[in-house]
């Protein structure tokens, strides 16, 4: 093994980096920064699966490095800069809270290319990418409302940012397309990954009478509670059926591998640009895990809507849509714009909860 790889491995141990690649002459160095551990069985786990797919696809043409468990703010800035300073030509920062830190580093390293997930700020050397996860959550809403006996679901949220709020709203609209009186209770845990808080939130929601659990957090703890308490649940980012074999109805799946491979190839070809990508079910970036533990009736409802998304003919945020306070968000027949989705900071009608400031 070359001296360079030994140095990198030593640095990885010292700095909490994980590295994995086959080495060749001048491989493209690609870095990844994760908000959670790669063992979270959720969001960061899926990004790391994509990193491994990159290694398999490119072989010794790439050298990948990842940094896990990175909070937002100054810690994120240090992690991104560490990769830029150590010769990485392309850096993927994969959490909303990394947006401003990544932008700061991008300005200091104009010859390095950066990709930020789930954000909206770009620069000449900083692209953005995201999945339209709300599409899958709309389908989950239909499944929940069709299967629920109580007409009430519980939703565990990480932070009240637009990414999370629009997913909650899409779930509600999907549920209301089946049951106009469907209700959703919400508990915020103020963390992307905190199994203890997530489990406590799931227990509290079941105690409040919900029989369906949703989450926009990254551990399988809510699924485990759903399994223990005998209620339906949905996985987040990854198929976690092993944690809830008789409770998981489906799961939102994030497939980042095709995007990462495409963007790395663009760097190699000299065609990379600071683009903005927002892929949905029709692109394959967003998927649902196989439907389980639900009736054929529920499956039929979900599969019909998934087919509409795949054909690109369906927009879940189509008026009339009303905000929680009763004011009109979208008039009859009007489709939402991406700008409205990106700035979504309110609940639609039907939530048994208020949105924190």
**Rounded distance, CA 265 to CA 271, Å?**
8
Task: Report the SS3 class of residue 108.
Answer: helix
What was the pLDDT predicted at 60?
Answer: 97
Contacts of 241 (CB under 8 A, 6+ apart): 235, 248, 251, 289, 292
Does the reported pTM lie above 0.95?
no
Q: What is the mean pLDDT of residues 185-198?
A: 98
CATH number (3.40.50.2300, 3.30.1380.20, 3.40.50.720, 3.40.50.300) of 3-131 reads 3.40.50.2300
Say whether 133-253+287-342 and 3-131 share the same fold.
yes
Q: What is the percent of the chain with per-residue pLDDT over 70, rounded to a whole number? A: 93
Sequence ranges of the domains in the chain: 3-131, 133-253+287-342
- pLDDT score at 237: 95
* Local structure of 18: helix, strand or coil: strand
Residue 317, pLDDT > 70, answer yes
In degrees, rounded to 5, the angle at the alpha carbon of residue 10 between the alpha carbons of residues 8 and 13 is: 110
Q: Which two tokens stand for residue 316?
A: 């879940």
Contact by Cβ (8 Å): 254, 131: yes
Contact 175, 143 (CB under 8 A): no
Domain 133-253+287-342 classification at class level: alpha beta
d(CA 99, CA 90): 15
pLDDT digits (tens, 9 = 90+) for 116-155: 999 999 999 999 999 999 999 999 999 999 999 999 999 9
Residue 13 DSSP symbol: H
pLDDT digits (tens, 9 = 90+) for 6-42: 333 333 433 444 444 334 479 999 999 999 999 999 9
**Distance of alpha carbon 188 from alpha carbon 216, whole angstroms:** 10
Question: Can you give the pLDDT at residue 25?
Answer: 72
Q: How many CB atoms lie within 10 A of CB 208?
A: 12
């Amino acid at each position: 093994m070359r001296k360079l790889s030994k140095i990198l491995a030593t640095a990885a141990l010292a700095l909490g980096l994980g590295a994995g690649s086959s080495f060749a002459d001048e491989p493209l160095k690609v870095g990844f920064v994760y908000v959670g551990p790669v063992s979270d069985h959720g969001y960061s786990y899926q990004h790391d699966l994509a990193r491994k797919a990159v290694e398999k696809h490119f072989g010794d043409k790439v050298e990948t490095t990842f940094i896990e468990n990175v909070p937002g703010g100054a810690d994120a800035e240090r992690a991104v800069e560490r990769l830029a300073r150590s010769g990485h030509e392309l850096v993927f920062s994969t959490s909303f809270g990394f947006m401003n830190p990544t932008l700061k580093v991008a300005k200091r390293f104009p010859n390095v290319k950066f990709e930020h997930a789930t954000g909206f700020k770009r620069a000449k050397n900083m692209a953005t990418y995201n999945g339209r996860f709300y599409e899958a959550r709309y389908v989950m809403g239909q499944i929940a409302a069709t299967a629920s006996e109580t007409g009430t679901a519980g939703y565990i949220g990480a932070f009240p940012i637009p990414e999370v709020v629009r997913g909650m709203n899409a779930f509600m609209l999907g549920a209301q397309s089946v049951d106009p009186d469907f209700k959703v209770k919400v508990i915020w845990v103020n963390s992307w990954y905190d199994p203890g808080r997530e489990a406590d939130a799931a227990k509290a929601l079941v105690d409040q009478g919900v029989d369906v659990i949703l989450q926009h957090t990254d551990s399988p703890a809510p699924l485990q509670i759903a399994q223990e308490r005998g209620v339906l649940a949905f996985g987040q980012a990854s198929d976690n059926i092993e944690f809830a074999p008789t409770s998981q109805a489906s799961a939102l799946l994030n497939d980042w591998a095709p995007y990462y491979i495409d963007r790395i190839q663009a760097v190699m070809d000299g065609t990379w640009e600071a683009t903005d990508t927002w892929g949905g079910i029709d692109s394959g970036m967003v998927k649902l895990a196989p439907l389980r533990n639900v009736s054929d009736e529920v499956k039929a409802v979900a599969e019909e809507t998934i087919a509409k998304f795949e054909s690109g003919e369906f927009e879940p945020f189509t008026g009339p849509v009303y905000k929680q306070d009763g004011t009109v968000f979208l008039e009859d027949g009007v489709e939402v714009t991406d700008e409205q989705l990106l700035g979504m900071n309110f609940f639609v009608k039907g939530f048994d909860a208020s949105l924190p400031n």
